[in-house]
Structure formats: C-alpha cells, structure tokens
Structure 1
Amino acid sequence: MAYSSNVTRASVRRLAVPSVAGESWRDSGPPLIAFVAVAFTLAQLALVRPGMGLGWDETVYVSQVSGHAPAAYFSAPRARGVSLLVAPIASWSSSTALLRVWLAVLSGAALYFALRVWRGLFPGRVLALGGAFFASLWVTVFYGPQAMPNYWVAIGALAATGCFLRAQADSTDRAALWGLAANAALMAWMRPTDAVWTTLPLLALLVLVRRWRRLLLLLALLGGLAAGALEWIVEAYVAYGGLAQRLSDGSRAQGGLGWHLAVLDQMRSLGGRALCRPCTGAMPHPLVTAWWFVLPLLAALAAVVAVGRTGRTSRTLVPLACAATAAIPYLFLIGYAAPRFLLPAYALLAIPVADALRHLVTAPDGSRRPIVSVLVALGIVVHLGVQLTVLHGMVERTTAAHRTWSRIAVDLHRLGLRSPCLLTGQEAIPIAFYTGCSSAATSGNNTNSTAAEIADTARRVPTAHLGTTTGRPPSYTRGWTAYTVEGVRVLVSPKAGEREEHGVASVTGGGGRG
C-alpha cells in the first residue's frame, strides 16, 4: 500500500473545497459565528445558574485536583481530561460558581474556534445556523458549563473533521494537520473510546480509499489519538491490571457492551433525565421528541443535496458518517441512556443539517418557497420553546438535588464528620465531596475497599454510613449511632461522636442505636 506526502495537482482539483466568498479559515471569524458563541456563553450563565452545585460525576472529576476533598475513586471508563480542564480553578478555589463561569467562557470560545475551522467549506450563515442549532439544544446548554467530558468530545469531533477536510483539500495546509492532531488528542484526552468511534470514518478513508490516502494526515490523526490516550493507557497498566483489563472493567461498569437497542431509552431521556438507568416510564410529550425524528430526515436531505453539488459531497458526507459512528455505541451497544452521550453526533450533524435547511428556504421553486420558509421558521420557534422548557425543568430538579446533598453535608459536619473522615453507602461519592470526606464502597462499579478495611478506618477517623430507613445496614456499623438527615438514615461511628457538637439531635431529628 503506497502513501504519498503530497497529492498531484489533478487530485487537488478533484478534492479541493472551494473557498466561500474568498474567505480563508485563517481570517478572523465572521461576526455571526462570534455572536452565536457569545450568546451560547451568556445562555449558560443565565439559564444553568453558576451556583448550581456539582453533580455525581463532576465531584469525581473535580476531586482529583481539588484541595477541598480527597480524590474519589476513579473507575475504569473515566479519563482525566476533565480534571485537567478544571484544574486552573479547582486546584485553588472551592467555588462552584467560579468553576461554572470558567467552563461557560471556555465552552463558548471552543465553539467559536470549532466553527471557524469550517470557514470556506460552508457559507458563514450556514455555520452560524449550525452552531446555533447545536448551542440551542438543552443538553448542550446544560452540559457546556459542567465538568463533564461529552461536550468537549463533541467540540473536538467538529473541529477535527473540519481540519481533516481542509488537509485533504490542500496538502500544504500544515495548520490543518496540526489542528487535526490537536483535536483528536482532545477527544482521546476526554474519552478515548469515543474518540476511536468518532474517527473511524476518517481512518477508513485514509486506509481504504486510494485517492484519500495521505501519510501525513494518517500520522496526524493516529498521533493525536495516541497522545490524548497515552495517560489513560499508562494508567491502565499502573492501576487497573493492563489495558485489556481496564477495557473489560469499563464494559462491565456500563452493564456489559453488546447488542442493546437503546434508541427508545435515548428518546425517554430527552424529556430531561441526566441518566436513564434503568430507562423505564412513559415517553416524553411528542413535541419534546419531534426534533429527534426531524434530525435524520434533514441529514438525509443534506446528503442528497450534497451528492448533486460539485465539491460539496465530501464536506457533507464525512461529518454525517462520523456522526453515525459516534452514535452507534450509545444507540446499540449499551443498555441505558443519557442525553449527553450523543452530543458529538449532534455537533457533527449541525452544519450539514443547517445546510439542508438553507436549501429548503432558498430552493428555486418560487411558488413553494414562502410556505416552506414559514414552516421552517415556525419549526425553529417551537424547537426553541421546547428546549428552553426542558432545560428549565432539568436545572430546577438538578439544583434541588444538589442542595439536598449540601444540607446533608452541613448536618454531617454537625455530627462530627470533618476531614479527615470517611463516608460509605448510597450517594457516598458526591456527599463525601460536599462534606470534605473520603468515600468507600464494598460493591458495585466503585468498589475500592472491604468491610474489614472500613471497620479499621472507623476506629481511627470519623466514619458514617448513608442508607435508607428500611435497608439493612452493613455489619461494620454495629454499635454506631443512628440519625435521620434529609430522609437519609445516617449511622455514625463512635469516633465521630467525639467531634459531635452540642445540640445536634435537634438538627438531625434525634438519634438511636444502629
């Protein structure tokens, strides 16, 4: 198999993506793209509330670099990209509001640069519309300012695909090569397995299609993926028993990867469920899921339109193919759902879908154009209304849950649980972060201890077990004092009692013996 670091002029002419209105991606970004990025940042700050506490997964990532609490158990599927992303703030400040502002600004800037990569591949208005579509989804606004990896995989996928197309069109574009490597590294840095799934079409084109073979481009893509995943791979051998074992543990943590039809689960999660596991209950209102049915239709229209246009085929079909492979594991290979899993697919679909909408409202059929334009405008208005409604409900529920964790932490402090301390039981990981304690589990995906080790620790530092009022407590809590805090049954070790403040019974609602 032969590779060439350069392509012939004929090949360049065949693959070249003509510049739109003479614009180059190196020029300053168009005002419309900048406006979308700024609006996205402001929407996060206004609608998601910087003061919203950290979620379960966020506490895991933030605790790795925070001085507020000990590092939580880092399970096999996780990667440390998010922890490094939040380190500039979390390493010295425990302010959630400040962290949210940092991530909102960072995510807005990242969206701008990811869209800017596509300048010249599509008209500026299409890029702005595509960016607005992606940025208007409730799941994008909700997770943009959160310490979670999925948005950043989406941004890396969007920018990497644009850089790939540029480098294919112009063999002298070294900036595109470096951009491809950097964004492939970003994806792998955040979620290595997602990075592989998303870039499969790019790798297939570079290896299997003769006229797409470019050695430098292949090296840039593979090098970027390897650089981003290097720490994860090294950690696999240091802490997880090897790469194969880490992949196996990661599969088990997700219920076992294999054939699972999760399409309906994803639809149920669109109504505002952070994690749908198990995913039961009624489907959301049809208005909530309508855009999900329209999206593949517009993607198909974009493909049909692209095939009929010179120079448009690859720049439309390539991101569509990457969107499909990015979605495959979360639609067909895991037995549960979370809306954030599909963010990379939505980002890659955004620009082709925007181009399809543009085609609908600018088609030469003058008699139908006004009707189509009105229908598209009406659909956009309804879409925005639905997204805002779901987002509002999601923020309200999430904020209430996080405030409950915060109140439990306050009461645990009054019960004598202050660092150094240990929490076990249900929701021990997030509540431990709020309290400033370590967490431990003897079963489940976050197993990191044994009953004997917990009992030994309880003799040295304040320890508490969080459970239900009807559940059977573990054996190591025998003789511990029982309290009820925010509906949670808290069993506190004698060591914690040494720190207990006077009058705590009136705060916790009384106590008893476990």
Structure 2
Amino acid sequence: MAKTLNVPLIGARRPKPPDGAARVSRRPGGLGLLALVAAAFTLAQLILVHPGMGLGWDETVYVSQVSPHAPAAFFSAPRARGVSLLVAPIASWSSSTTLLRVYLALLSGLGLFVALRVWRGLFPVRVLALAGALFATLWVTLFYGPQAMPNYWVAIGALVCVGCFLRAQADGHDRAALWGIGLSAALMAWMRPPDAVWVTLPLLVVAVAVPRWRRAGPLLALVAGLLAGAAEWIIEAYVSYGGLGQRLSDGSRIQGGLGWNIAVGDQMRSLGGRVLCRPCTGAMPNPVVMAWWFVLPLIAVLGLVIAFRARRTAPTLLLLACATTAGIPYLFMIGYAAPRFLLPLYALVAIPVADALVHVVTVPGRRRRPVIVTLVAIGLAGHLAVQFAVLQATVRRTTDSHHGWAVTAAELHRLGVRPPCALAGHQSVPIAFYTGCSSWAVGGHNANATPESITRSARRMPVAVVTIPGSKPPGYARTWASHRVGDLNVYVSPGAGSPTP
C-alpha cells in the first residue's frame, strides 16, 4: 500500500490508527473490474441455475410467510424472518418462481459488488477481483445465490462487516465505515442471529481486549447492529417460543443437539452436491471433488505469511479469524451437514487465498514465473471444471425433485384437494405450498396439530395425508380414499371435492 488515507477535520488532528491496523490506499480505483465480476456472477446464476427451478423445502417455509399463494408454514425455532422480508417485494404479490429467482440473482450480484467495494484500498483491486471470482464460482455460491435462503447473505454481511471494521479502525472519523459495520451486522443477525455472533466474535474480542483497538465507535456500531438485526427474533422468542433461552434450546434440539461433534467428514460428503446431508452416511465423493477443500487452508496460511512479511497482517488475520469462528459450529458442533452452512467461511477466506495466488504468480523471478503461472492456471481451470460439474448435477437433481412436488400438487388438485385445504404426512411442507394448502404435523420439529384437530378440519375442508409405499396411514385417515400419486400414496378425506377426470 502506498499512502494512508488522510481525511482530517478542520482544526482537528486525525487520530493515529492502532498498531497493526490496516492502511487504506488513497486512490483505490478499480470499480469497473469489481462490477464486471459481480455482473458475471449474476449472469452465471441466470444461465447455470435455472430460474424456473421450483422452490425447495426451506424456501417454501420462508416464502409462505409473505406469499398469498399458500398459508404460512410452521416457523420453527432456529429460523429468522430475514429471508421472508428479503423476498417480500416479489413474493407478496407474485407466485412466479422465475421472477423471484431473477430478482434474487440480481440482488446477490449487487451484494457481491458492495462487499468487494468495501475492501478497496485494503487490498489491491486485482486481489479483490480474483477473490470475488473464486467465491462466486464455487458451486454452492452459484446454487444458493438466487435462492430464498439466508446463508449467502450472512456471507456478504460478514465481508462487509470485517472490511468496514478495519476502515473504521484506520480512520476514526469514517462515518460511512461505522454505518457499514452496523448495517452489515444487522443483516447477518436479521438472517441468522447465532451465525452473526459467531462471525463477529473476533471483532468483539479485538475491540474489547486489545488496548490499541479499543475504540467506542466501531464497538458500539457492531453491538447496535447485532441487537437491531436480532431484535425481532428475540421479541418473537418471548411471544411465541417461551423465552429466549427456550428458543435457543429448541433450536439446538431441532439441529440434533449442539455440542462437541466433529462434522468435518459430513461436510466433505456434502461437497459432491448433497444439499442436505442428514443423516450423513455413504461414501465420500471422488477425491478430485474434495481436493480444493484441502488446498484452501494451505493457501490461506500462505496468504497470512505473505501479509506478515509485507507488514499488513491485520486485514488478513481478522479475515481468517472470523472465517474460523464462522466455521466452528458447522464443523465441530453439529451432527449433520449442508454445504451452504460454510458460505461465510468461504467468502472471508477468499481474499487471503486470492492475495496468496496473486503474490506467487507475480513475485518470483522471471525464470520460475512461467512455470508457476502455468501450474496455477491449470489448478484453477481444473477447480472450475469440478465446480461446474457438481453444480450441473445438483441443479438437475434438485429440479427433478421440485418438479415431483409440482406433479403431486397437480394430482391433488385433480383429486379435489384445492384451497382452502390441508396436508399432513411425508414431505407435507413443500407439497402443501405447491398445492396452496396448509401443512400440518402431529409430531417432529414442525408439530402444529393433533389427530383430533385434523379430524375436525376434515369435516369442513379437503385434507390429505401423504405416505411412502409400505407405510400405513395414521389412524384418523385409514378410512379415507386411497390413491397412488407417482411414488407416493395419498389418502384424501371424504370432504374433498370430486376428482377431475
């Protein structure tokens, strides 16, 4: 970095940044390159992840909270309302999945641009552009960018929050950085409050425990942002879940009981495109698919060494510290895996990795440079090929699954199960959304009904129970009309309308 940013107030001296704090370049530039990366990310989502791909299970829960298409699904304790509010501008008036996907793809591209822009001056633009490209070309990033899910937005919030925290430490009068800290922390807590705490834990520790970094502005902005984003979740805990402690306890129980549990192997199994690995059994993916996961921490450590030698350790160290705490609960404290859980980790570690790659292809002597550049180019090309292959297979498999729910919903309509109606049983949550019905469960994480209440409701509106072949229907549905719908059995209450030929 050449010169430090100097924005003194009239008649006031600029406070000296803490030892080891980031230096911010006077002329960062490069907005066009960052915008190009974000635009390419948006375009790749629209091309590779079909906008017409139906909504997934969790998506139907979030979207149903604001959609007039179907009654709101049961909202379990771990969930937060951020995604529902994010999709409300579209989902509140349109049932078009394609329109929703396009909206989210555009929004996720804009989010990536904003997150990279925050880091201008802290790292060279070419490093940021490569970091954005590395993060954006992971199959899990492309897959979840246009989805109504919270994890991508926690990742974007994490990048913005750490970057603004460093800028605020470098310049105590940077009000934009303080606002950035608060808003990004609020965004993370808005989406997933526990994740927001894990991501920002190193920032809170540094701001409190390191004397040179004790500044009221960044710390207050961070705490205020976390509280503002989590306020609705906390209030809802007391209104609907029996208190904050009870909601946290219920959330832990639903996720299998949070505690010491090494889930590294589970996450490795999910790298092959398993969007939810629960229970996480079966063989590991091909070693070629997992190779990048082992190389990633090695290159990140190299980035830290390079930053230490260049005497700009703080940005890289904070990025890696926040990436570590973001990954801890999903690598060592949970009994299952989903690749989207680690999106914040991948976003934060992308900058040190990109910094290391740029360094190794530019610093060595002329004789070795062509060999190193060739090896890095081959490695990146192979990595991209693997990511796109996994993405293609995952999109195809997911689209088929969602199409199956749509076919089942159409058949239920034919059988007379039309709104207002209700569904219970196997995969009732997504199938009910596609059908336009309420989803009921008498047990499990989504329990919101009893056999008696379902029986009473069946006297005044169509109710159906979905089971897999070989499973018996619940007692209250044993006398209902049985139908075979694809690979499922459906039991329709006598109150349903007449089947359509």
Q: TM-score under structure 1 normalisation?
A: 0.94
Aligned pairs (5 A) from 1:425-444: 425-444=425-444
User: Are positions 1:384 and 2:384 aligned together?
Assistant: yes
Q: Which residue of the partner structure matches residue 172 of structure 2?
A: 171
Q: Which residue of the partner structure matches residue 99 of structure 1?
A: 100
Does the 8 Å CA contact 1:167/1:176 hold for their aligned counterparts?
A: yes
Q: Which residue of the partner structure matches residue 348 of structure 1?
A: 348
Q: Which residue of the partner structure matches residue 509 of structure 1?
A: none
Q: Which residue of the partner structure matches residue 151 of structure 1?
A: 152
Q: Which residue of the partner structure matches residue 119 of structure 2?
A: 118
Does the 8 Å CA contact 1:15/1:169 hold for their aligned counterparts?
A: no
Q: Distance in 1 between matches of 2:285 and 2:27?
A: 43
User: Are positions 1:225 and 2:226 aligned together?
Assistant: yes
Q: Which residue of the partner structure matches residue 192 of structure 2?
A: 191
Q: Which residue of the partner structure matches residue 240 of structure 2?
A: 239
- Out of 8, 11, 17, the residue aligned to residue 12 of structure 1 is 17
Q: Per-residue deviation at 1:363? A: 2.1
Deviations along 1:90-110, one digit per CA (max 9) or x if unpaired, are 000000000000000000001
Q: Which residue of the partner structure matches residue 501 of structure 1?
A: 499
Deviations along 1:61-119, one digit per CA (max 9) or x if unpaired, are 00000000000000000000000000000000000000000000000001001000000
Q: Distance in 2 between matches of 1:256 and 1:421?
A: 34
Q: Which residue of the partner structure matches residue 83 of structure 1?
A: 84
Counterparts in 2 of 1:491 and 1:17: CA distance versus 1, 3 Å = same
In structure 1, give the amino acid aligned to 2:485.
Answer: V
Does the 8 Å CA contact 2:49/2:143 hold for their aligned counterparts?
A: yes
Q: Per-residue deviation at 1:291? A: 0.5
Q: Which residue of the partner structure matches residue 37 of structure 2?
A: 36
Q: Which residue of the partner structure matches residue 450 of structure 1?
A: 450
User: Are positions 1:181 and 2:178 aligned together?
Assistant: no
Q: Distance in 1 between matches of 2:279 and 2:494?
A: 37
Q: Which residue of the partner structure matches residue 303 of structure 1?
A: 304
Q: Per-residue deviation at 1:15? A: 4.8
Q: Per-residue deviation at 1:365? A: 3.4
Q: Which residue of the partner structure matches residue 417 of structure 1?
A: 417
Q: Which residue of the partner structure matches residue 464 of structure 1?
A: 464
Q: Distance in 1 between matches of 2:302 and 2:444?
A: 45
Q: Distance in 1 between matches of 2:225 and 2:190?
A: 10
Q: Distance in 2 between matches of 1:8 and 1:290?
A: 51
Q: Distance in 1 between matches of 2:486 and 2:376?
A: 48
Q: Per-residue deviation at 1:491? A: 0.4
Report SS of the residue matched to 1:176.
helix
Q: Distance in 1 between matches of 2:210 and 2:22?
A: 18
Q: TM-score under structure 2 normalisation?
A: 0.96
Deviation larger for 425-434 or 475-484: 475-484
Deviations along 1:168-199, one digit per CA (max 9) or x if unpaired, are 11101000000000000000000000000000
Q: Which residue of the partner structure matches residue 131 of structure 2?
A: 130
Report SS of the residue matched to 2:78.
coil
- Out of 9, 27, 43, the residue aligned to residue 23 of structure 1 is 27
Percentage identity across paired residues of the two chains: 66
Q: Distance in 2 between matches of 1:77 and 1:31?
A: 39
Gaps of 5+ in 1: 1-5, 504-514
In structure 1, give the amino acid aligned to 2:240.
Answer: A
| TM-align CA RMSD | 1.4
Q: Per-residue deviation at 1:123? A: 0.5
Residues paired across the two proteins, number? 491
Q: Per-residue deviation at 1:303? A: 1.0
Report SS of the residue matched to 2:495.
helix
Q: Distance in 2 between matches of 1:18 and 1:326?
A: 25
Report SS of the residue matched to 1:490.
strand
Q: Distance in 1 between matches of 2:303 and 2:134?
A: 15
Does the 8 Å CA contact 2:19/2:212 hold for their aligned counterparts?
A: no
Counterparts in 2 of 1:215 and 1:484: CA distance versus 1, 3 Å = same
Q: Per-residue deviation at 1:295? A: 0.3
In structure 2, give the amino acid aligned to 1:401.
Answer: S
Does the 8 Å CA contact 2:21/2:315 hold for their aligned counterparts?
A: no
Does the 8 Å CA contact 2:323/2:348 hold for their aligned counterparts?
A: yes
In structure 2, give the amino acid aligned to 1:362.
Answer: T
In structure 1, give the amino acid aligned to 2:498.
Answer: E
Q: Distance in 2 between matches of 1:296 and 1:163?
A: 24
In structure 2, give the amino acid aligned to 1:112.
Answer: F
Report SS of the residue matched to 2:465.
strand
Report SS of the residue matched to 2:222.
helix
Q: Per-residue deviation at 1:435? A: 0.1
Q: Which residue of the partner structure matches residue 336 of structure 1?
A: 336
Counterparts in 2 of 1:49 and 1:487: CA distance versus 1, 3 Å = same
Q: Which residue of the partner structure matches residue 261 of structure 1?
A: 262
Q: Which residue of the partner structure matches residue 506 of structure 1?
A: none
Q: Per-residue deviation at 1:360? A: 1.0
In structure 2, give the amino acid aligned to 1:494.
Answer: P
In structure 2, give the amino acid aligned to 1:182.
Answer: L
Q: Which residue of the partner structure matches residue 4 of structure 2?
A: none
Counterparts in 2 of 1:43 and 1:502: CA distance versus 1, 3 Å = closer
Does the 8 Å CA contact 1:423/1:440 hold for their aligned counterparts?
A: yes
Report SS of the residue matched to 2:479.
coil
Q: Per-residue deviation at 1:364? A: 3.2
Q: Distance in 1 between matches of 2:350 and 2:231?
A: 30
Q: Distance in 2 between matches of 1:67 and 1:322?
A: 39
Q: Distance in 1 between matches of 2:46 and 2:333?
A: 35
Counterparts in 2 of 1:423 and 1:13: CA distance versus 1, 3 Å = closer
Does the 8 Å CA contact 1:15/1:168 hold for their aligned counterparts?
A: no
Report SS of the residue matched to 1:283.
coil
Q: Which residue of the partner structure matches residue 510 of structure 1?
A: none
Q: Distance in 2 between matches of 1:295 and 1:500?
A: 59
Q: Per-residue deviation at 1:256? A: 0.3
Does the 8 Å CA contact 2:324/2:345 hold for their aligned counterparts?
A: yes
Does the 8 Å CA contact 2:425/2:466 hold for their aligned counterparts?
A: yes
Q: Per-residue deviation at 1:359? A: 1.2
